Every structure is written in C-alpha cells, then in structure tokens.
C-alpha cells in the first residue's frame, strides 16, 4: 500500500546510468526511488509495486508481468517516457489510475531536425549532390527560401510550437492546427483540425507533428496529397500511420517536384521490432529520409527524461500532473487502428 509519509517512485523500465542519474537528480529527496529491473525475485517486485506512489515507464505491457498490473491500482500517476503512446495498450492498466504521456519530450531536437530536412529539400541539397556525382553542375538551378514560404504545421503542440519559433526566426509565414485552435507562439494563422484542407492548400511546406490517435490515423491520404501544391515539401516527424503509405509513394512517383522528408516510418524497430517498407521510397529522388532519430540531437533524450521526471515530481508532491491521457484516448492504440474519416 502507498505510504503518505514516504512517497515512492518505481521505475519499471531499464535506464542507462546517465538516464538514471537524471531521474535521481530530478526527484532528489522528494521520494525514494526503486528501479524494478534490479529486483529479480517476484516477491520483491510485488512489494515495490504495491508501495509505489508513482510509476515511470516506457512500455508497461513489456515491463510488468501478467500478475503485477493489479498491484498498481492506487498509484497517483503512471508517467510514460514517450510523447506518443499509440503502441502501448493503455486499456490494460487499471482504469482508475491517471496516465500521462511525455508531450514535447524532445521538442527542440525534433524541431531542428524537421527544419534541417525542409531546408535540405528547399535548397535541393541531396538532389544536386546526386547530379554532381554524374558530373552535372547545375549552378543556375533555382532553389527556395524559407522567408518566402508559407509553412503549415499539423500538430501545434510541444514540437510544433518549437518548430514554429524556428520558422518565424527565418521569416516564414506559419500556419498551425491543433485541437484548441490556439497558439502560445505568435503565428500568422491557427485553426482547428476541420481547417486542415485549407492549410494544406495554402502551404509551401507541410509539417506533421501531431500524435497518432483515432482521429489522426490515416488523416493524410490521396485526397489530401492532391490538395497540396505541386512542388510542396512534406515533412513527417510524427508517426508513419498518419499518412497512407501507398498514396504517398504513388504521389511522389507521379509528381517529381513534390518532396517528402520522412523521419517517421510505418513499421519501425522500437514499436514493431523491425524496419519495413511496403514501397521503395528510398529509390525515389524526391525523398529525404532519416531513421526516426529526430529526437536524438544533443541533449534531446536527456531533456525528455528530465521532463518525464518533473511530471512525476508534480504527482509525488500533490500537484496535478501535465499531459494526462483521456479515457477515450486510453481505449485506443495502434492495435485498434482505423483510418480517419476524410
């Protein structure tokens, strides 16, 4: 049972020494910390989980044994390290336990990565390098400027807001969409999801930074791609499943001036245990690819761990945690995926 006198943080996932130190330093003397991976005996694990005030986890479905989930029914919070929880069956957790994602965990790193991909596409860097390997020196070929572009961001949350700040610094016009239709960062236009079509049509560059949910699954398909400009730059930093894979491949194949910058793929090692493509995107000259490493810049992952630990502190000290997941969102995960209505 939980002790009010001595709150306990149980870390269910295995952390590197660096990440452990971040958790310990952030929590400080506010609670005792138990790392579950250090406990081998079932009785010790059960005792730790039964005493937990807050859990810090990566994927409870893999970290908790079948008979352990029932022990955490009284915790104040299950805090996950990931910003997107679509791959975790949250409906297996006790329904009365608050659950929080780590929204904006590596926002700054991801925003820089998305900007770098978009600039590489706008300046035709990989395309011109490929031509130079064929002894083509296209010095007169026109490139594009961010300062003359309208950039649409679907998902004006932590990463989207960080990206908006960078884009505004370069003089871009920024349009954004989130569920609130509001922005804490000065942008040129902000709307709600029902205005997606208008934003797609107006944007020279489109950035996806929204979480994968029942509403966003498959939200970009053939129709939405055709709404975009012929020479649009499309950057996906979110989840591959926001986009219809076949529709994007065919659009890229048939529209050579349209460029896709893909960081988030449909089948990836962390969520699926492997990397797999149904279509040969990497054979197309108008694709710029990265292995979903946009969060890996500098101290990005360390910052993410610290943000998750700080939200644990809120729960440990009696404050309301941030980024709580609603019951409806908890009932949905990628195993129950259905394309969004378009």
**What does pLDDT average to in each consecutive run of 10 residues of the chain (342 residues)?**
74 97 96 96 97 97 95 97 93 95 94 98 96 96 95 97 98 97 96 98 98 95 98 98 98 98 96 94 98 93 96 97 93 65 47
Token pair belonging to 67? 């008979």
CA torsion sign, 178 to 216 to 267 to 19? positive
3-state secondary structure at position 91: helix
Please report, for the chain, the start and end positions of each structural domain, with discontinuous segments joined by +: 8-104+300-336, 107-295
Neighbour-count burial for 84-113, b at 16+ CB within 10 Å, e otherwise: bbbbbbbeebeeebbbbbbbbbbbbbbbbb
- Architecture per CATH, domain 107-295, reads as 3-Layer(aba) Sandwich (3.40)
pLDDT value of position 328: 86
Helices (H), 266-299: 269-272
What does the alpha-carbon distance between residue 174 and residue 206 come to, in Å, rounded to a whole number?
Answer: 10
pLDDT value of position 336: 60
pLDDT value of position 188: 98
Q: Confirm whether 74 is a catalytic residue.
A: no
Helices (H), 180-321: 196-202, 222-227, 245-254, 269-272, 300-316
Of 76, 113, 239, 330, the catalytic one is: 239
Q: Confirm whether 268 is a catalytic residue.
A: yes
Of 144, 255, 268, 314, the catalytic one is: 268
Q: Confirm whether 292 is a catalytic residue.
A: yes
pLDDT value of position 342: 45
Strand partners, 175: 152, 189
Of 292, 323, 330, 333, the catalytic one is: 292
What does the alpha-carbon distance between residue 61 and residue 88 come to, in Å, rounded to a whole number?
Answer: 7
What does the alpha-carbon distance between residue 210 and residue 164 come to, in Å, rounded to a whole number?
Answer: 14
Token pair belonging to 122? 């706008």
Place of tokens 């590197």: 16
Q: Please state the CATH superfamily assignment of the domain spanning residues 8-104+300-336 in this structure.
A: NAD(P)-binding Rossmann-like Domain (3.40.50.720)
pLDDT value of position 283: 97
3-state secondary structure at position 159: helix
Which residues are CB-contacts of 9 (< 8 A; sequence separation ≥ 6)? Answer: 23, 27, 31, 32, 33, 34, 52, 53, 54, 55, 56, 312, 316
**Contacts by residues 277-281 (CB-CB < 8 Å, ≥ 24 positions apart):** 277/245, 278/245, 278/246, 278/249, 279/245, 279/246, 279/249, 280/249, 281/249, 281/252
Does this chain's domain 8-104+300-336 share its CATH topology with 107-295? Answer: yes
Query: Quick count: other Cβ atoms within 10 Å of Cβ 129?
Result: 10
Token pair belonging to 229? 């400009």
Token pair belonging to 20? 């452990």
């Amino acid at each position: 049972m939980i002790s009010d006198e001595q709150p306990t943080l149980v870390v269910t996932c295995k952390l590197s020494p660096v990440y452990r130190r971040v958790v310990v330093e952030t929590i400080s003397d506010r609670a005792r910390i138990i790392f579950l991976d250090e406990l081998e005996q079932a009785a010790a694990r059960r005792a730790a989980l039964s005493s937990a005030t807050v859990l810090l986890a990566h994927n409870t479905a893999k970290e908790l044994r079948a008979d352990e989930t029932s022990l955490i029914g009284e915790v104040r919070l299950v805090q996950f390290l990931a910003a997107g929880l679509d791959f975790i069956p949250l409906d297996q957790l006790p329904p009365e336990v608050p659950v929080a994602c780590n929204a904006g965990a590596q926002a700054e790193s991801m925003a820089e990565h998305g900007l770098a991909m978009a600039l590489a596409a706008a300046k035709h860097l990989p395309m011109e390098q490929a031509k130079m390997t064929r002894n083509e020196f296209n010095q007169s070929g026109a490139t594009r400027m961010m300062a003359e572009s309208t950039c649409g961001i679907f998902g004006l949350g932590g990463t989207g807001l960080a990206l908006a700040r960078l884009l505004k610094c370069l003089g871009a016009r920024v349009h954004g969409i989130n569920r609130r239709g509001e922005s804490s960062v000065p942008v040129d236009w902000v709307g709600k999801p029902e205005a997606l079509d208008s934003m797609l049509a107006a944007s020279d560059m489109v950035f996806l930074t929204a979480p994968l949910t029942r509403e966003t699954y498959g939200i970009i398909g053939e129709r939405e791609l055709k709404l975009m400009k012929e020479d649009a730059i499309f950057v996906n930093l979110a989840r591959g499943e926001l986009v219809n894979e076949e529709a994007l491949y065919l659009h890229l194949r048939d529209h050579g001036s349209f460029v896709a910058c893909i960081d988030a793929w449909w089948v990836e090692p962390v969520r699926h245990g492997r990397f797999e493509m149904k279509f040969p995107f990497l054979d197309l000259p108008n694709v710029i690819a990265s292995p979903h490493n946009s969060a890996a810049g500098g101290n990005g992952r360390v910052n993410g761990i610290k943000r998750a630990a700080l939200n644990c502190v809120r729960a440990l000290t009696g404050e309301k945690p941030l980024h709580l997941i609603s019951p409806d969102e908890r009932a949905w995960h990628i195993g129950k995926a259905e394309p969004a209505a378009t």
